[in-house]
Amino acid sequence: AALARIEATDAKLGAFLAVTPERARAAADAADARAARGERRSPLDGVPVAVKDIFVTKGVPTTAGSRILEGWIPPYDATVVERLEAAGAVLVGKLNMDEFAMGSSNENSAYKPCHNPWDLARTPGGSSGGSAAAVAAFQVHGTLGTDTGGSIREPAAFCGVVGVKPTYGRVSRYGVIAFASSLDQVGPLARNVGDAALLLRTIAGHDPRDMTSSTRPVDDYLAALEGGAKGLRIGVPKEWLDGSGLDAGVADAVRAALAAYERLGARLVEISLPHSKYGIGAYYLIAPAEASSNLARYDGVRFGLRAGDARGLKEMYAETRERGFGPEPKRRIMLGTYALSSGYYDAYYLRAQKVRTLIRRDFDAAFERCDVVAGPVTPSVAFRLGERTDDPLKMYLADIFTITCNLAALPGLSVPCGLEGASGLPVGLQLLGRPFDEATLFRAARALE
Ligand code: GLN
């Protein structure tokens, strides 16, 4: 059914970069056979899922949305893919994304645009645009994305689905094509909070192949779901609701959600995150710096595209990178290489890391007075395709509310909180939690559903 649905809808939607019918049919048949024997590996047994094309998949092309990886067939599976399949989930394909996860609208995909199922003229968000659109368009029940500065939560908000960016270290990054290694984290997108909890429960936990993955036991997110909002202290950052460039329709929906929490017995607490205004600045130094280093491996020798090799090694490197990378990775490689170059490290990268510590301290102080922080995910609802492609700075501002969570290594969740009055498009409420307290995010989000 999922394959048929993709066949019927994806020419218009553009959520998939690759569909894997053989792998899916084999997995589905195996799940059916288990079911006939009365066996079930997990609640995900036989459930169709898909993953962003940033996760390497054995024998299945993996591009990270870039031409430079065209034709590369990985020899292994990412840990999260392995864990989904071990639970019985049926992988049906690889999802569209911004090139190397750089973007907020999926428009930096080197292959094709992805459309928002609510309005095909609009962006599904990015960089995990395909992951959000596929869930919203009922192509699959759940997907995985990655979030470096908002790339799960922003598309989830734009497509009216649930998206979770776990604590840094909660989920293995083994087999995840690296963008900014100190910020990247894997998480689920799903149509409801319970499905997202189930997916995270399946993929989370220590992986000896990722030294940054945490050995902390994984909480029982499903048990946390029915805790209700009563007694929760919800921190509302005063900087996020007023005078922050937030559209009125989004602010209304967020305020209505906060009022609903009060009716459910939660208490709202005003908090302050004074350094969050430096988030975008710090992020757009740290992320390009780390990206410039991570992308150095695409040299035409080991993966995918190779160009100009007839003329010599240097020409081969240069032509491969010139032809293989699109404009956004090139922009970031230049920014990042500059920021890391000799004599500038202290002034830029190191300074941005210090800002990061200040942002984390704001949250540490806030979490002494509240259990979760709540606010908008994005300043606006899904914008029109093409509207911001000429103005990278304007595009970067889409991340203004999501980026501090990554910089502070906290868990964050986006849950639909109604429709914007004027456009009828979905609005997301963002919930942020203490490190490794995803359970409270699921509890709070479920209460609002
Ligand atoms: N939009 C942000 C960027 O372009 C975040 C992307 C992400 O989270 N992967 O870097």
Helices 438-448 and 248-263 cross at an angle (nearest 10°) of: 100
Residue pLDDT, tens place only, 357-388: 999 999 999 999 999 999 999 999 999 999 99
151 counts as catalytic: yes
Atom of ligand 1 nearest to the CA of 399: 1
C-alpha of residue 151 to centroid of ligand 1, in Å: 5
Last residue of a domain, one of 306, 323, 346: 346
The C-alpha R_g of the chain, in whole angstroms, comes to 21
Decide if 242 is inside a domain: no
Same domain, 213 and 285: no
Q: Pick from 170, 172, 131: which is nearest to 151 by CA?
A: 131
Atom of ligand 1 nearest to the CA of 332: 10
Six-digit token string for 96: 């569209």
Alpha-carbon gap, residue 127 to 253, rounded angstroms: 24
Angstrom distances, CA of residue 144 to CA of 31, 117, 243, 353: 20, 18, 34, 28
Query: Which of 127, 128, 165, 294 to mutate for ligand 1's pocket (most ligand atoms within 8 Å of CB)?
Result: 127
∠ Cα 330 335 340 (to 5°):
125
Same domain, 201 and 342: no
Look at ligand 1, atom 10, and give the residue with the nearest C-alpha.
Answer: 102
Last residue of a domain, one of 329, 346, 363: 346
Decide if 18 is inside a domain: yes
Same domain, 290 and 157: no
Same domain, 208 and 320: no
In the chain, what is the straight-line distance between the N-terminal and C-terminal CA atoms, in Å? 27
Whether ipTM exceeds 0.95? yes
Q: What is the pLDDT along the chain (449 residues), one digit of tens a residue?
A: 999 999 999 999 999 999 999 999 999 999 999 999 999 999 999 999 999 999 999 999 999 999 999 999 999 999 999 999 999 999 999 999 999 999 999 999 999 999 999 999 999 999 999 999 999 999 999 999 999 999 999 999 999 999 999 999 999 999 999 999 999 999 999 999 999 999 999 999 999 999 999 999 999 999 999 999 999 999 999 999 876 689 999 999 999 999 999 999 999 999 999 999 999 999 999 999 999 999 999 999 999 999 988 899 999 999 999 999 999 999 999 999 999 998 999 999 999 999 999 999 999 999 999 999 999 999 999 999 999 998 888 888 889 999 999 999 999 999 999 999 999 999 999 999 999 999 999 999 999 99
Same domain, 208 and 81: yes
Same domain, 107 and 26: yes
Same domain, 218 and 289: no
Host domain of residue 331: 281-346
Decide if 447 is inside a domain: no
Same domain, 315 and 205: no
Alpha-carbon gap, residue 287 to 328, rounded angstroms: 12
- What total of structural domains would you count in the chain? 2
C-alpha of residue 45 to centroid of ligand 1, in Å: 32
127 lines ligand 1 (CB under 6 A): yes
Decide if 232 is inside a domain: no
Look at ligand 1, atom 5, and give the residue with the nearest C-alpha.
Answer: 149
Q: Pick from 190, 255, 262, 251: which is nearest to 225 by CA?
A: 190
Decide if 356 is inside a domain: no
Last residue of a domain, one of 308, 325, 346: 346
Assessment of whether the complete model's pTM goes beyond 0.90: yes
Same domain, 201 and 339: no
Same domain, 292 and 175: no
Decide if 365 is inside a domain: no
Torsion of CA 243, 245, 251, 254, to 10 degrees: -100
Six-digit token string for 251: 């602010």
C-alpha of residue 38 to centroid of ligand 1, in Å: 44
Alpha-carbon gap, residue 132 to 334, rounded angstroms: 30
112 counts as catalytic: no
Same domain, 57 and 197: yes
Six-digit token string for 230: 């009563």
Same domain, 32 and 169: yes
341 counts as catalytic: no
